[in-house]
């Protein structure tokens, strides 16, 4: 049987990081070229014919909307390329969940799209990047899982587990199995529902600006007011089920841009408190950073809260 052809798109991150030999910390992300990264895992050739394209080589904290759009457009082109069977993307773990969700909302994936990365740099004593990259390629080529992942979804492969793009997030700052899902007690799942929302970014070169504002005890409402001045939309990471102080509620009443209410807990479902945030948009079960991704894309279509609310309702249903 002919090997499947897998394209590896590299964006940098810890998996391409370099530091003092043998150490897990104190490294600089995004230093190893895509070609060198793939060449360091010769076992890839046992499972697929791979070729590599470097999209960028950065720390994922420096990811931008313009790179997102470039990446989505390239993934879309590869989806349409009959010579390609699957796509693997290497990415830093800090914002991997946001990029995965963005791609999930902007690319119709009839072929596997698997994102992976690492917690240790390439120069660590026991780097985890090679195993994660090999595992991601194996999944993209049809190995390593009992059933093929459903189409029209982007997946994250990490530390031997596969996570859907909507629910995945980084759950640990240091553990090797840092990627998980935003629901306590749940693990990897191949039963995630297909995405109902889709946004065409092929003709865009940037996205509207959305900032996430984090509420804590005695947080100044001026933070909220300032964020509104530099944003096209806001996400509030509220306490509990999206709660915040009366002072914040008063400041929010004067803000006339779309605002989504999420929870800083990252678990459970937000139920909108109409007393604090009348007429605002409920994030539901989306983590604040995922709500920001969806809101940015919604704003490319409409600024009408009613329209945006429908997109968020669709996101809850899958």
163 and 236 share one domain: no
44-47 long-range contacts, CB within 8 A, separation 24+: 44/133, 44/134, 44/137, 47/3, 47/134, 47/137, 47/138, 47/141, 47/143
* Long-range contacts formed by 109-112: CB under 8 A, 24+ apart: 109/75, 109/79, 109/151, 109/152, 109/153, 109/154, 110/79, 110/151, 110/152, 111/78, 111/79, 111/84, 111/85, 111/86, 111/87, 112/85, 112/86, 112/87, 112/139, 112/140, 112/148, 112/149, 112/155
Active site residue ranges: 14
pTM above the 0.85 mark?
yes
- Position 193 in a domain: no
Residue 152 lies in a domain: yes
pLDDT number for residue 271: 87
Give me the number of domains the chain comprises.
2
Please give the pLDDT value at position 190: 61
Positive or negative: CA dihedral 240, 232, 253, 307: negative
24 with 165, same domain: the answer is yes
The answer to whether residue 199 is domain-embedded is no
Q: Say what the pLDDT of residue 185 is.
A: 45
* 126 and 234 belong to one structural domain: no
Cα 144 from Cα 141, distance rounded (Å) = 9
Looking at the fold, whether 81 and 166 belong to one and the same domain comes out as yes
Residues 249 and 167 in one domain: no
Residue that terminates a domain, selected from 143, 160, 181: 181
35 token code pair: 């070609």
The structure tokens listed for 222 are 């001026």
Asked if the structure places residue 187 within a domain, the reply is no
Q: Is residue 203 part of a domain?
A: no
> Pick from 144, 166, 181: which residue ends a domain?
181
Mean pLDDT by 10 residues, the chain (318 residues): 93 92 87 92 96 96 98 97 97 98 95 95 92 95 66 88 93 94 57 83 97 98 98 97 97 98 90 92 96 98 96 82
Q: Are 194 and 153 in contact (CB under 8 A)?
A: yes
Which domain CATH number covers 144?
A: 3.40.50.1170
Residue 143: per-residue pLDDT = 83
Examine the domain organization and report whether 105 and 220 are in the same domain.
no
234-280: per-residue pLDDT in tens? 999 999 999 999 999 999 999 999 999 999 997 888 988 899 999 99
Q: Parallel, antiparallel, or unpaired: how do β-strands 86-90 and 4-12 relate?
A: parallel
Asked whether residue 140 falls in the same domain as residue 243, the answer is: no
Indicate whether 123 and 214 sit together in one domain.
no
Domain assignment present for residue 66? The answer is: yes
The rounded distance, in Å, linking the Cα atoms of 102 and 84 is 22
Beta-carbon contacts of residue 66 (< 8 Å; ≥ 6 apart): 205, 206
In the listed set 181, 199, 224, which residue is the last one of a domain according to the structure?
181
Q: Give the phi and the psi of residue 163 in degrees, each rounded to 5.
A: -130, 140
The share of the chain scoring above pLDDT 90, in percent, equals 82
Shared domain check, 215 and 177: no
Assess if residue 254 is contained within a domain. yes
Residues 263, 266: Cα–Cα separation, whole Å: 6
How far is it, in rounded angstroms, from Cα 19 to Cα 61? Answer: 18
At residue 309, the 3 state secondary structure works out as helix
Same domain for 296 and 165: no
Q: Are residues 167 and 228 in the same domain?
A: no
Q: What is the pLDDT of residues 192-241, one digit of tens each?
A: 677 889 999 999 999 999 999 999 999 999 999 999 999 999 999 999 99
Say yes or no: 264 and 147 in one domain: no
The single-letter DSSP state of residue 21 is T
pLDDT at position 144, please? 62
Q: What angle do CA 112, 70, 298 make, to 5 degrees?
A: 85
CB atoms near residue 15 (< 10 Å): 28
Do residues 279 and 253 lie in contact, with contact meaning Cβ atoms separated by under 8 Å? Answer: no
Question: Residue 261 sits in a domain of what CATH number?
Answer: 3.40.50.40
Distances (CA, A) of 198 to 71, 161, 294: 16, 26, 10
What is the full DSSP assignment across 222-273?
Answer: HHHHHHHHT-SEEEEEEBTTTB--HHHHHHHHT--S-EEEEETT-SS-----
Which range of residues forms the domain containing residue 312?
210-317
């Amino acid at each position: 049987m002919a090997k499947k052809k897998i394209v590896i798109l590299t964006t940098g991150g810890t998996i391409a990081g370099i530091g003092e030999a043998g150490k897990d910390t104190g490294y600089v992300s995004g230093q190893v070229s895509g070609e060198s990264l793939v060449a360091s895992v010769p076992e890839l050739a046992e499972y697929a014919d791979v070729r590599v394209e470097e999209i960028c080589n950065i720390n994922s904290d420096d990811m931008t909307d313009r790179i997102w759009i470039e990446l989505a457009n390239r993934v879309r082109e590869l989806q349409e390329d009959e010579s390609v069977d699957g796509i693997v993307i290497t990415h830093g773990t800090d914002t991997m969940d946001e990029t995965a969700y963005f791609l999930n909302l902007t690319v119709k994936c009839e072929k596997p799209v698997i994102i992976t990365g690492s917690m240790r740099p390439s120069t660590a004593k026991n780097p985890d990047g090679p195993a994660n990259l090999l595992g991601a390629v194996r999944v993209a080529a049809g190995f390593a899982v009992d059933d093929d992942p459903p189409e029209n979804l982007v997946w994250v492969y990490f530390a031997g587990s596969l996570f859907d793009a909507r629910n995945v997030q980084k759950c640990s700052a240091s553990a090797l199995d840092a990627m998980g899902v935003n629901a306590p007690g749940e693990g990897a799942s191949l039963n995630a529902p297909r995405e109902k929302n889709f946004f065409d970014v092929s003709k865009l070169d940037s996205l509207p600006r959305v900032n996430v504002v984090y509420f804590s005890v005695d947080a100044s409402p001026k933070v909220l007011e300032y964020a509104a001045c530099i944003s096209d939309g806001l996400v509030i990471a509220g306490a509990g089920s999206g709660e915040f102080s009366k002072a914040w509620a008063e400041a929010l009443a004067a803000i006339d841009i779309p605002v989504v209410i999420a929870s800083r807990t990252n678990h459970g479902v937000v139920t909108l408190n109409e007393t604090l945030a009348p007429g605002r948009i409920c994030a539901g079960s989306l983590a604040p950073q995922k709500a920001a991704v969806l809101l940015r894309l919604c704003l490319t279509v409409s600024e009408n809260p009613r329209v945006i609310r429908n997109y968020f309702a669709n996101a809850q249903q899958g």
